[in-house]
Structure 1
Amino acid sequence: MSTTQSERLRELLEPLVTSQGLDLEEIAVDSVGRKKVLRVVVDSDSGADLDAVADVSRALSAKLDETNAMGDAAYDLEVGTPGAERALTEHRHYVRATDRLVKFQLAEGGELIARILKADDEGLDVEVPGVKGRKPTARRLGFAEIDKARVQVEFNRKDKAAEKDMKEEEEA
């Protein structure tokens, strides 16, 4: 059985990432000219801050140098977190996206934009925003109904704490 370089790197690096309290989300090896670039994406339930990313980057760099897993050729190591509009591909991604607006490509065709309210083992409770003054509606989506899902960026959304503070000020 042949394994790819990315699979071998995942086997080598995942325990190290996990020991730092993070999940290894993605590994990609790309060639840029004569140099290779190893891109590693990490995350956690509480998010990965800059210090955590820097710590795991140093640990990965040391492990790669120690094992010579990238060979003798020059390479760059890039460690980061998933982007703002990340694809949701695993159960933990849906849990982490709770209270976020997500665009779903449905297996039956069509798409749905909704906010994840709750994720469990069978699927999601979502809220579909109301349009033109209509109230939002609740819906249940089973994982089998979802073909693809991607978090949407919201620029004007107030967080719940800010909304609660504003409501309390109005009532006073």
Structure 2
Amino acid sequence: MVAPAHAERVRHVVEPAVVAEGLVLEDVTVRKAGSRSVVEVVLDITEDDEGGLDLDRVAQATRAVSDALDAADVIVGEYTLDVMSPGVDRALTERRHFTHAVGHLVTVALSDGGSLAGRLTEVDRSDDAIVVVPVTPGLKGRKPVVGEPVRVPLSDVRHAHVEVDLSGIGPVDDDDSAGHDAAAGKES
């Protein structure tokens, strides 16, 4: 692993290029791989970005990051640049992470030691809280049990992550019928 100070210098150089592309710089790591360095840059979308981080946006950001690194010459010798999105298994640590996870199943570890699993239905910006509708899987082919919505201040969240939903239902859409919304844990 290359010194953390080196990664900070790289972050300082690439962050303006990432921001100019309308994205957020999530993380930067620099490590050695034989005689060359590997620079890993993790990008995300802003909280209000309704688009996604598709391949075209990643490619465009990669060019901008590469140009910034080449212009500043902060990496000595040859390097490989890997620009990527955080992935589905990333921890939800900021409000924008939760905002983009609305409609998905989440598991939330609370600072009091408790936990909450269910469908994330809302992120309230006015008081920095999330709303999760608890969903307990049904046993032996029965329907899941949907509880009452639980409001959790983000300050009470120790850590959280999106659960991979293999039920085939996927995220809840606003276009779903009221009956399906209630079954999926979304308020009409």
Aligned partner of 1:125 in structure 2 is 131
* Structure 2 CA distance for aligned equivalents of residues 161 and 94 of structure 1: 16
Alignment partner of 1:94 out of 70, 92, 98: 98
What is the identity, as a one-letter code, of the residue corresponding to 1:145? Answer: D
Check whether the contact 2:104–2:171 (CA below 8 A) recurs between aligned residues.
no
Point out where structure 2 has 5 or more consecutive residues left out of the alignment: 181-188
Check whether the contact 1:107–1:145 (CA below 8 A) recurs between aligned residues.
yes
What is the identity, as a one-letter code, of the residue corresponding to 1:56? Answer: A
Give matches, 1:55-70, under 5 Å.
Answer: 55-70=60-75
Aligned partner of 2:160 in structure 1 is 149
- The aligned length equals 164
What is the identity, as a one-letter code, of the residue corresponding to 2:129? Answer: G
* Structure 2 CA distance for aligned equivalents of residues 89 and 67 of structure 1: 31
Q: Against the structure 1 CA distance between its residues 21 and 90, is the aligned structure 2 distance closer, same or farther, given a 3 Å change threshold?
A: same
* Structure 2 CA distance for aligned equivalents of residues 117 and 154 of structure 1: 15
Report the secondary structure of 1:14's partner residue: helix
State the identity %: 33
What is the identity, as a one-letter code, of the residue corresponding to 1:21? Answer: G
Deviation of the 1:164 alpha carbon: 3.1
Out of 113-122 and 37-46, give the one that drifted further. Answer: 113-122
TM-score, normalised via structure 2 length: 0.78
* Structure 2 CA distance for aligned equivalents of residues 31 and 137 of structure 1: 50
What is the identity, as a one-letter code, of the residue corresponding to 2:78? Answer: A
Point out where structure 1 has 5 or more consecutive residues left out of the alignment: none
Deviation of the 1:139 alpha carbon: 0.3
